[in-house]
């Protein structure tokens, strides 16, 4: 069975500071990993993904994430947070041996204060 | 390019009724997935269709069913509605393979009274 854990319900950071939103996963095979963001009253939007290759992936709005196979983690990061980054963030995993199924974490609410 | 569209956007039903939700994926996308989003349970995977075939399904009772048409449009049906079925139902499409990211529609807000 595949699973995703986002251990923090809420992350608070000050504008201009770096931010990290944590995600760990469990799959039987090799993972495809994704981050999505949900702004208030808007649909989920894709941020970035890891499929294979370089462990550090870069995505939209200055976000990046690092794939760590030994720690089964895929943490989302940004060097300098903006107030407009405040939103609900979801980590998701697909197992290449379990076609078609996506498992999402429970989400982490990021609040960036001015 | 038009995004994923879902109809209707809002529904109010009573217990015991059935409901059908519709999803039109982005043109050219062949995979359509459905999710139930609730404040307490997050995003729960319902099922995924690819080229009119259900490839995978989540842990939901048989009251939840779906299908995909040859034009990739998809419908989801819930029979014998229960109060606990009140949720935001999201549809997502992706281009071809599991490595492709999903594009989400705005959702259908279902309220069961």
Q: Using an 8 Å Cβ cutoff, are A15 and B75 in contact?
A: no
Confidence of residue B64 (pLDDT cuts 50, 70, 90): very high
**Interchain proximity B43–A107, CB inside 8 Å:** yes
**Chain A, nearest residue to B49 by Cα:** A100
Alpha-carbon gap: B72 to the closest alpha carbon of chain A (Å)? 15
**Chain A, nearest residue to B4 by Cα:** A43
Residue with tokens 């069961």: B112
Alpha-carbon gap: A40 to the closest alpha carbon of chain B (Å)? 12
More confident residue, A55 or B96: A55
As a whole number, mean pLDDT of residues B75-93 equals: 97
Q: Using an 8 Å Cβ cutoff, are A43 and B103 in contact?
A: no
As a whole number, mean pLDDT of residues B6-26 equals: 97
| pLDDT at site A63 | 97
Residue A64 CA: distances (Å) to CA of A48, A51, B25, B57, B104: 7, 14, 28, 30, 21
Domain boundaries, chain A: 3-113
Q: What fold characterizes domain A3-113?
A: Immunoglobulin-like (2.60.40)
The 8-class DSSP code of residue A84 comes to G
Q: Is B96 a residue whose pLDDT tops 80? A: no
As a whole number, mean pLDDT of residues A34-60 equals: 92
Q: Using an 8 Å Cβ cutoff, are A8 and A107 in contact?
A: no
More confident residue, B95 or B85: B85
Residue A83 CA: distances (Å) to CA of A13, A37, A110: 9, 14, 10
Q: Is B97 a residue whose pLDDT tops 80? A: no
Our CA dihedral for B33, A53, A64, B46, rounded to 10 degrees, sits at: 10
| pLDDT at site B2 | 84
Q: Is A93 a residue whose pLDDT tops 80? A: yes
As a whole number, mean pLDDT of residues B84-99 equals: 91
Query: Concatenated DSSP letters for B59-89?
Result: S--TTEEEEE-TTS-EEEEE-S--GGG-EEE
From A51, A90, A96, residue closest to B43, measured CB to CB: A90
Mean pLDDT value across chain A: 94
| pLDDT at site B45 | 94
């Amino acid at each position: 069975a595949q699973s995703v854990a986002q251990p923090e319900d809420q992350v608070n950071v000050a504008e201009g500071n770096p931010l990290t939103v944590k995600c760990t996963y469990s799959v039987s095979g090799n993972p495809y990993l994704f981050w999505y963001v949900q702004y208030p009253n808007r649909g989920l939007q894709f941020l970035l993904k890891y499929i294979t290759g370089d462990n550090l992936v870069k995505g939209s709005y200055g976000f990046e994430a690092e794939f760590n196979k030994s720690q089964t983690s895929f943490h989302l990061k940004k060097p300098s947070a903006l107030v407009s980054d405040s939103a609900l963030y979801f980590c998701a995993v697909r197992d290449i041996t379990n076609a078609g199924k996506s498992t999402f974490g429970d989400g982490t609410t990021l609040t960036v204060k001015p | 390019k038009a995004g994923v569209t879902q109809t209707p956007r809002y529904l109010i039903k009573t217990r015991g009724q059935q409901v059908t939700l519709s999803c039109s994926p982005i043109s050219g996308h062949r995979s359509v997935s459905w999710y139930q989003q609730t404040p307490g349970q997050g995003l729960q995977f319902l099922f995924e269709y690819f080229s009119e075939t259900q490839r995978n399904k989540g842990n939901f009772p048989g009251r939840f069913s779906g299908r995909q048409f040859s034009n990739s449009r998809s419908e989801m049906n819930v029979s014998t509605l229960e109060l606990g079925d009140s949720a935001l139902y999201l549809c997502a499409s992706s281009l071809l393979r599991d490595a492709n990211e999903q594009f989400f529609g705005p959702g259908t807000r279902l309220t069961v009274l």
